[in-house]
Amino acid sequence: MPDSGSLSVKTVSRLAGLSAHTLRAWERRYGAVTPRRTETGHRLYSQSDVERLKLLVKLVEQGNSIGRIARLQDEELAQLCRSMAPERGSQSPLLQELERQEQKTDATAGETHERIGRILEELLDAIPGFELDRVADALTRARQTLSPRDFALEIIAPVLGEVGLRVSHGRMGISQEHLLSSRIRSALEAALEQLDRGLRSQPWAVALATAQGDLHEFGSLIGAVLCASHGLRPLFLGPNLPAPDFAEAVRSTRARVALLGTTPLPPGAMPLSYEEYLTRLDSQLPRDCALWLGGRGDIKLGALKLQHEVRAIATLELLDHALKGIS
Amino acid sequence: MPDSGSLSVKTVSRLAGLSAHTLRAWERRYGAVTPRRTETGHRLYSQSDVERLKLLVKLVEQGNSIGRIARLQDEELAQLCRSMAPERGSQSPLLQELERQEQKTDATAGETHERIGRILEELLDAIPGFELDRVADALTRARQTLSPRDFALEIIAPVLGEVGLRVSHGRMGISQEHLLSSRIRSALEAALEQLDRGLRSQPWAVALATAQGDLHEFGSLIGAVLCASHGLRPLFLGPNLPAPDFAEAVRSTRARVALLGTTPLPPGAMPLSYEEYLTRLDSQLPRDCALWLGGRGDIKLGALKLQHEVRAIATLELLDHALKGIS
DNA sequence: GGCAGTTTGTCTAAGTTTTGTCTAAATATA
DNA sequence: TATATTTAGACAAAACTTAGACAAACTGCC
């Protein structure tokens, strides 16, 4: 029985460093610890009770309120204790930021998943009632807690998928969709800008766009975030870009990859079919620039004779992997 | 709850280095941080709140005014902090102070105009060569030096006008235009979000959108920024919104004004003409909601018999004035 | 330079919540 | 019997809340 010691109130009070009165009050009011009892009602504290109490005392001394932390699990207490530790005085903001990023990554995998689930739920829950505050909060929180890559892949992509479904089933209005899209786009752009600031002076690596008439920009935008996450400086040219302009941009910036986002579109939505668009793009693109197709656009590559080798990358996960390969 | 510390006002005041009074004033007046609350109303600060506050304190000490920086995003703060830092270290505090005073006084009214001119030039100069870094810097600087209203009216609107001219004259490529638009939009959205955070809990005042088929969103977006600057909470629904959805959104949010952004478009660009669109919108809009038309769309109002009184507001300056009237 | 208006830190006042401490009476232990 | 522990409840200090006042400093403007 290593952990079932039988320490009395007085002993524990001395060991943990608080009065017996307080000790009992903490138990009565906040359930800070729940020692075993003798048949006659006397408390029997264990060694781990003492440890827990010591931790609580320490945290309270650091300014936490006992009523708020008393019911936390041991693990949560330990974590809180760790996160309270860095109380170094005047650090440069840069260092602070780095530290914060470290803190982010040190969340364990399991927790991350749970958190992602919560954020997803929160987002999808807040949309129907125009609760933009909650949406904004959830997005901000997600962007602060997760890496840009995870933010894009684990939060934004699923949300967009679900939104698409709901809209097509009539379970979500177009105005709600627009509102959410707008917020999501601005969050993605902020993430992209943030990453991009770290890639200045780097050469442009991947140019992204969608074809003329294709207004679905999110695929490319997430693609750009992924590129930047892998250290490949993206040139996000937005949706609806004519082939000559795409080629010209690639030429001017000497990007190594041209990534065209594609979507299954009804015929006639685009002034040129994907096949026609690709033919033109192919002929005007520099020789040493790779041509990638992202997304699930309906394209018959077989019939085309293109100079560039074309690589089709259907999903964002595959793109993530492909980028890992060339970075 | 990984990041949801339970720090009290007092603790945070000690950690961040400002008085509890000031801390609350910053929250009340500028929304510098928004801690969670207990059921009884006591504030619960998180560790990241503390980080943010430390940053704010530092920036305020360096001469920034809290009212201007309190609502900036965390990253913007970090960036601002970095950009304030450069020549520190070897200088005496006295010299720093003198320098700061110089910097302050040299920003007189007359120079605001000159500064606007410089930023404009910088922007238009950096675009042709894909110098996105300079573009981003200029935009960030503009957004930090100017009020959101001035930023939108004095910088963004003229730039967009000039860009439109250049594109139509073939003096600017479409890819450059897309790149710039994307940055501008994200800057405007950031400004909007920043303002919006100060308007939470306010009722929705103005709903903005453009008609189905009209993809020009900048007018409405700037309009939204103007609304927010005047304390009128905007609901920016984005471009390309069908009339029923517009009306539904207005109904759900009880917005007092529906503002439709319009543009002179070639016939056939929109599935419904403005006249048809307006007729539908008019019939579905709540009675007590005003209907405003922004921009220079070509609309024959005379022939229409609408229930709502329609107010046409051709320019952003006029909109600014109209908003002043109802705020 | 002087003047009106805004910004901002500080403070007061009155009321609520949290929390450590204590009392009283009953029971247990040694 | 003397000492410890139990419960329930009382109490007050400390801390927190909001609303508003106020003056110093800063702003833009003439």
Q: Which of A305-319, B133-147, B257-271 comes out lowest in average pLDDT?
A: B133-147
- Nucleic strand D under 7 Å from the C-beta of A9: yes
Going by C-alpha positions, the residue among A233, A240, A235, A221 that lies closest to residue A160 is A221
Look at B196 and A96 and tell me if their CB atoms are within 8 Å: no
Q: d(Cα B179, Cα A241) in Å, to the nearest integer?
A: 11
At B26-70, the pLDDT tens digits run 999 999 999 999 999 999 998 889 889 988 988 888 788 899 899
Output the pLDDT for position A100: 43
Look at A246 and B175 and tell me if their CB atoms are within 8 Å: yes
Q: How many CB atoms lie within 10 A of CB B37?
A: 10
Q: d(Cα B127, Cα B133) in Å, to the nearest integer?
A: 10
Contacts of B42 in chain A (CB under 8 A): 65
Output the pLDDT for position A115: 65
Output the pLDDT for position B16: 87
Closest CB from B12, B130, B248 relative to A253: B130
At A146-178, the pLDDT tens digits run 889 989 988 899 888 888 878 877 778 889 999
Q: d(Cα B181, Cα B185) in Å, to the nearest integer?
A: 6
- Which whole number is the average pLDDT over B304-326? 89
Look at A93 and B82 and tell me if their CB atoms are within 8 Å: yes
Beta bridge partners of A258: A207, A291
Output the pLDDT for position A262: 95
Measuring alpha carbon to C1', the residue closest to nucleotide D19 is B28
Output the pLDDT for position A77: 84
Angle at A94 between CA A77 and CA A139, to 5 degrees: 60
On the CB side of B37, CA atoms within 13 Å amount to 6
Provide residues 67-96 of A with CB closer than 7 Å to any strand C atom: 67-68
Of residues A242 and B5, which shows the higher confidence score?
A242
**Residue B127, φ and ψ in degrees, nearest 5:** -65, -50
- Nucleic strand D under 7 Å from the C-beta of B29: no
pLDDT grade, residue A17 (50/70/90)?
confident
Output the pLDDT for position A327: 76
Of residues A118 and A278, which shows the higher confidence score?
A278
Task: Quote the radius of gyration of chain B (alpha carbons, Å).
Answer: 23
Of residues B103 and B18, which shows the higher confidence score?
B18
- Nucleic strand C under 7 Å from the C-beta of B120: no
pLDDT above 70 (res B88): no
The share of chain A scoring above pLDDT 90, in percent, equals: 43
Output the pLDDT for position B4: 62
Please report the residues numbered 160 through 189 in chain A whose beta carbons come closer than 8 angstroms to any beta carbon of chain B: 173-176, 178-179, 181-182, 185-186, 189
- Which whole number is the average pLDDT over B286-307? 91
Output the pLDDT for position A113: 61
**Would you state the structure tokens that stand for residue A72, as one six-digit string?**
């936390």
Going by C-alpha positions, the residue among A20, A23, A42 that lies closest to residue A32 is A23
- Nucleic strand C under 7 Å from the C-beta of A38: yes
Output the pLDDT for position A222: 97
pLDDT above 70 (res B202): yes
- Nucleic strand D under 7 Å from the C-beta of B44: no
The share of chain B scoring above pLDDT 70, in percent, equals: 88
**B270 CA → D13 C1’, Å:** 71
Output the pLDDT for position A92: 38
Smallest CA–CA separation between A62 and chain B, in Å? Answer: 7
At A48-60, the pLDDT tens digits run 898 899 889 888 8
| pTM as predicted | 0.68
Does B97 contact A at CB distance below 8 Å?
no
pLDDT grade, residue A85 (50/70/90)?
low
Residue A195 in contact with residue A148, Cβ under 8 Å? yes
pLDDT above 50 (res B1): no
Output the pLDDT for position B310: 92
pLDDT grade, residue A3 (50/70/90)?
low
Output the pLDDT for position A183: 92
Does B73 contact A at CB distance below 8 Å?
yes
**B57 CA → D24 C1’, Å:** 20
pLDDT grade, residue B182 (50/70/90)?
very high
Output the pLDDT for position A112: 57
Q: d(Cα A216, Cα A208) in Å, to the nearest integer?
A: 12
Going by C-alpha positions, the residue among A314, A236, A222, A286 that lies closest to residue A322 is A314
**A25 CA → C25 C1’, Å:** 18
Of residues B259 and A104, which shows the higher confidence score?
B259
Output the pLDDT for position A167: 82
Output the pLDDT for position A319: 94
Of residues A248 and B201, which shows the higher confidence score?
A248
At A27-77, the pLDDT tens digits run 999 999 998 988 898 999 998 898 899 889 888 887 888 988 888 888 888
pLDDT above 80 (res B97): no
* 3-class secondary structure, B264: coil
Contacts of B38 in chain A (CB under 8 A): 68
Does A133 contact B at CB distance below 8 Å?
yes
Look at A253 and B209 and tell me if their CB atoms are within 8 Å: no
Q: d(Cα B14, Cα B42) in Å, to the nearest integer?
A: 17
Smallest CA–CA separation between B110 and chain A, in Å? Answer: 32
Query: In angstroms, how far is CA B98 from the centroid of its own chain?
Result: 33
Strands (E), chain A: 36-37, 43-44, 204-210, 233-236, 257-262, 290-295, 310-313
Look at A92 and B85 and tell me if their CB atoms are within 8 Å: yes
Q: What is the average pLDDT value for chain A, to the nearest integer?
A: 84
Q: d(Cα B278, Cα B239) in Å, to the nearest integer?
A: 15
Does B7 contact A at CB distance below 8 Å?
yes
Does B144 contact A at CB distance below 8 Å?
no
